[in-house]
Amino acid sequence: MQPFRFENAWVAHDSFKDVLSNTWQHGAVDVSVNFENLTSALRVWSRERFGDIHKRKRRVLARFKGVKES
């Protein structure tokens, strides 16, 4: 599994706060459990909302490079 990467663009999405509030358990003794739950939920949410943004970025940059070279 790839390391977790937080994307700043997520914060601007309307449903980001819902994922955060639905996942984070306030008053939980073990903060690491909250982080594990949150990262799992964010991975699923990101895949559903954005798809593979890194793959899309590579494709856009490759197209941009092709246009720039022509």
DSSP 49-65: HH--HHHHHHHHHHHHH
List phi, psi (to 5°) of 62: -65, -40
pLDDT band at 67, cuts 50/70/90?
A: confident
Please check the confidence at residue 70 and state whether its pLDDT lies above 70: no
CA angle 36, 19, 55 (to 5 degrees): 80
**pLDDT for the residue 68:** 76
Torsion of CA 49, 6, 36, 34, to 10 degrees: -100
Q: What is the pLDDT of residues 20-62, one digit of tens each?
A: 999 988 877 788 999 999 999 999 999 899 888 888 889 999 9
